[in-house]
């Protein structure tokens, strides 16, 4: 039987010390990370979110499709106005036809640094046999601790523009703790395990600004799923995770009984000016059978100066068996979007560093200020957004090593791309910079997408589509656009409403690296956008 879960959440301040920095931060019910939500596929969540701290807030259910519940999706000024201090909003939605590892997080400014937690959906059907017999499931949330409240950090970051600073001055955390390699951090979190068993790790990268490698000392990882979709299993030593991605891995406790650290370190993409591996966040697996005097083994991480481990990983990704979604061959909307950073409003006064902005299709997305796009769309209000988001860049003659002058003067605008219900949409994202900058984790709200192709250099529309995997491509809701390269994704526009697409690096998102799709209603009753189930926060 399906259940309805009623939760009462207060977004309120709490004080924690991590890596010797004592900071008062916004949390869900005083916890960092927030409480784990565990439900069954088919269940309904009714979560009342009350704002008891100074920053306006909204909540997003990352990876949940929100079919016909667009008003519960959460991105500020996209599907709702923010909940002001003292206010509340009830998010109500049913999780149908999807299961796996998800998370929730605040979707405004940089509040998600500490306002986030695991959202686990157990499948209605049994797990595929590839999971085997699982002794225990362990959710692991990768987070980051700033020396100051994240929203203050955001302000100084946006004002001073230090492109890599946000990535370097943070302390990584596992379930809220940096572990033994950091000062002022008590011993490691210890997870007791038994030998010769299988543990399912549900790993979530909720970090704001860094991608990470995950690894377990002396143990191999069997990858079985990601972003709420099963994968054809494969075994690896190091697991890459971009912000916004989740991965399910099996760990077999087949080593000598002992103590084994596991954890994360910065990677996998070499960021300009960043030295390879810094200090990892660690936790520990301790075999029940281990001697108490055993000294813990520390995991290794790949060297960041080469992309090879990441590319090898991506090449292994295949959907498990039959995909949960259909993969239509006919493409109705064939789109090419450039993605990167550029200077806006500069007009020949370079370097003009104060005005660097994030862009998709050379446009810096401007949030509407006193409404949301969904409310404007539903009410037919004029003048809030334009529907002329371009399908293609003016040219793909890019110089990736020295950004094309075209990419030096973008525009700011609020433009959306309209879709018809039932469209198959294919997008090639072309990263406009060469290797050495970053993979942009593009995240699409309201849908999963197939990753049908990926390559380096400039996308060649005559040649590259021949290499697409249209048979068993993996499905994700967040995937990296490789630095110096491109990725091709495909999704089915079967979810009427307003859906944000953005880079899941928070600093890029706050620079405007986002855009919006609006899928029109279909003909059938079940193909229509429904109104809000609960009174929306007032727009001010």
**Interface residues with ligand C2O (CB under 6 A)?**
60, 62, 75, 105, 107, 244, 443, 445, 500, 502, 504
Q: How far is the CB of 23 from ligand C2O (least distance, A)?
A: 22
On whether the CB atoms of residues 248 and 232 are closer than 8 A, the answer is no
244, interface contact from ligand C2O, Cu ion, none, CB < 5-8 Å by kind: ligand C2O
- The least CB distance from residue 476 to ligand C2O, in Å, is 12
Q: Report if residue 476 touches Cu ion, rule: CB under 5 A.
A: no
Q: Please tell me the count of residues contacting Cu ion according to CB under 5 A.
A: 4
Q: How far is the CB of 57 from Cu ion (least distance, A)?
A: 23
Q: Which does 18 bind (CB under 5 to 8 A by kind): ligand C2O, Cu ion, none?
A: none
Residue 105 interacting entry, from ligand C2O, Cu ion, none, C-beta within 5 to 8 Å by type = ligand C2O
Rounded distance between C-alpha atoms, residue 246 and residue 64, angstroms: 13
CB of 20 to Cu ion, least distance (A): 30
Number of H helices, E strands in the chain: 5, 32
**Segment lying near Cu ion (by CB under 5 A), choices 131-139, 190-198, 345-353, 503-511:** 503-511
Q: Write down how long the chain is.
A: 540
Q: With contact defined as beta carbons under 8 Å apart, do 344 and 412 qualify?
A: yes
State in angstroms the smallest separation of the CB of 242 from ligand C2O.
11
For the segment 423-462, give every residue that binds Cu ion (CB under 5 A): 440
**Which residue's CB is nearer to ligand C2O, number 108 or number 451?**
108
State which residue has the least CB distance to ligand C2O.
62
Q: Which does 511 bind (CB under 5 to 8 A by kind): Cu ion, ligand C2O, none?
A: none
- What separation in angstroms does the CA of 137 have from each of 22, 100, 204? 31, 12, 13
60 binds, among ligand C2O, Cu ion, none (CB under 5 to 8 A by kind): ligand C2O
Q: Are 447 and 499 in contact (CB under 8 A)?
A: yes
Which residues, listed in sequence order, are joined to residue 341 by a DSSP beta bridge?
358
Closest by CA position to 73, among listed 422, 415, 387, 498: 498
User: Between 235 and 274, how does the x/- string for binding to Cu ion read (CB under 5 A)?
Assistant: ----------------------------------------
Q: Which does 502 bind (CB under 5 to 8 A by kind): ligand C2O, Cu ion, none?
A: ligand C2O
Among 93, 262, 377, 505, binds Cu ion (CB under 5 A): 505
Report, in Å, the least distance between residue 505 CB and Cu ion.
4
Q: Of 259 and 502, which has the nearer Cβ to Cu ion? A: 502
Cα radius of gyration rounded to whole Å, the chain: 22
Residue closer to ligand C2O, measured from CB, 103 or 261: 103
Alpha carbon distance 183, 515 (integer Å): 41
**CA distance linking residue 478 with residue 455, whole number of Å:** 17
Q: Is 174 helix (H, G, I), strand (E, B) or coil?
A: strand
141 DSSP β-pair partners: 204
Cβ–Cβ < 8 Å for 142, 118: no
Cβ contacts of 519 within 8 Å, gap of 6 or more: 419, 420, 421, 423, 493, 494, 495, 496, 497, 499
Contacts with Cu ion, 389-428, as mask; x by CB under 5 A: ----------------------------------------
Q: Pick the closest to residue 297 from 325, 358, 338, 255 (CA basis).
A: 255
Residue with tokens 């970053």, as numbered in its chain? 438
CB-nearer residue toward ligand C2O: 202 or 502: 502
Least CB distance to Cu ion at residue 190 (A): 35
Question: How far is the C-alpha of 45 from the C-alpha of 88, rounded, in Å?
Answer: 16
Give the side-chain half-sphere CA count within 13 A for 472: 12
Q: Where along the sequence are the contacts to Cu ion (CB under 5 A)?
A: 440, 503, 505, 508
């Amino acid at each position: 039987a399906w259940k309805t879960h009623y939760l009462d959440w207060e977004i309120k301040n709490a004080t924690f010390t991590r890596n010797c920095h004592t900071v008062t931060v916004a949390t869900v019910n005083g916890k960092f990370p927030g409480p784990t939500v565990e439900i069954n596929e088919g269940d309904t969540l009714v979560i009342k979110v009350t704002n008891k701290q100074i920053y306006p807030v909204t909540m997003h259910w990352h990876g949940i499709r929100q079919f016909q519940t667009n008003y519960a999706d959460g991105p500020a000024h996209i599907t709702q106005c923010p909940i002001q201090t003292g206010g509340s909003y009830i998010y109500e939605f049913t999780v149908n036809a999807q299961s796996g590892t998800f998370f929730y997080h605040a979707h405004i400014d940089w509040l998600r640094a500490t306002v986030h937690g695991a959202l686990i959906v157990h499948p209605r059907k049994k797990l595929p046999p590839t999971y085997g017999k699982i002794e225990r499931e362990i959710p692991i949330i990768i987070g980051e601790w700033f020396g100051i409240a994240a929203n203050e950090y955001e302000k100084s970051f946006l004002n001073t523009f230090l492109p890599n600073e946000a990535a370097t001055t943070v302390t990584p955390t596992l379930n809220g703790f940096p572990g033994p390699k950091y000062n002022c951090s008590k011993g490691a979190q210890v997870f007791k395990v038994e030998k010769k068993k299988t543990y399912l790790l549900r790993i979530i990268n909720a970090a704001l600004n860094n991608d990470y490698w995950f690894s377990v000392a002396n143990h191999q990882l069997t990858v079985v799923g990601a972003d709420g979709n099963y994968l054809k299993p494969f075994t690896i030593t190091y697991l890459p995770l971009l912000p916004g991605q989740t991965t399910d891995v099996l760990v077999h406790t087949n080593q000598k009984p002992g103590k084994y650290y596991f954890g994360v370190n910065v990677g996998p993409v070499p960021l300009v000016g960043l030295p390879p591996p810094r200090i990892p966040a660690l936790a520990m697996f301790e075999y029940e059978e281990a001697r108490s005097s055993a000294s813990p083994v520390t995991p290794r991480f790949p060297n960041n100066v080469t992309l090879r481990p990441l590319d090898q990983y991506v090449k292994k990704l295949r959907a498990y068996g039959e995909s949960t979604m259909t993969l239509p061959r006919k493409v109705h909307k064939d789109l090419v979007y450039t993605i990167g950073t550029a200077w806006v409003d500069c007009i020949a006064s370079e370097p003009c560093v104060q005005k660097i902005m994030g862009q998709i299709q050379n446009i810096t997305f401007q949030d509407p200020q006193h409404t949301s796009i969904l409310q404007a769309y539903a009410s037919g209000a004029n003048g809030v957004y334009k529907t002329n988001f371009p399908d293609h860049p003016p040219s793909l003659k890019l110089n990736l090593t020295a950004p094309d002058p075209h990419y030096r003067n973008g525009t700011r605008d609020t433009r959306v791309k309209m879709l018809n219900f039932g469209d198959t949409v294919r997008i090639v994202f072309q990263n406009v910079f060469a290797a050495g900058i970053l993979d942009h984790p593009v995240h699409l709200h309201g849908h999963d997408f197939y990753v049908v192709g990926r390559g380096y250099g400039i996308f060649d529309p005559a040649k590259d589509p021949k290499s697409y995997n249209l048979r068993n491509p993996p499905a994700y809701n967040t995937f990296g656009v490789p630095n110096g390269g491109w990725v091709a994704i495909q999704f089915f526009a079967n979810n009427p409403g307003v859906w944000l697409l953005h880079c899941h690096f928070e600093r890029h998102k706050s620079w405007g690296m986002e855009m919006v799709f609006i899928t029109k209603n279909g003909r059938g009753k079940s193909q229509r956008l429904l109104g809000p189930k609960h009174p929306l926060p007032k727009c001010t």
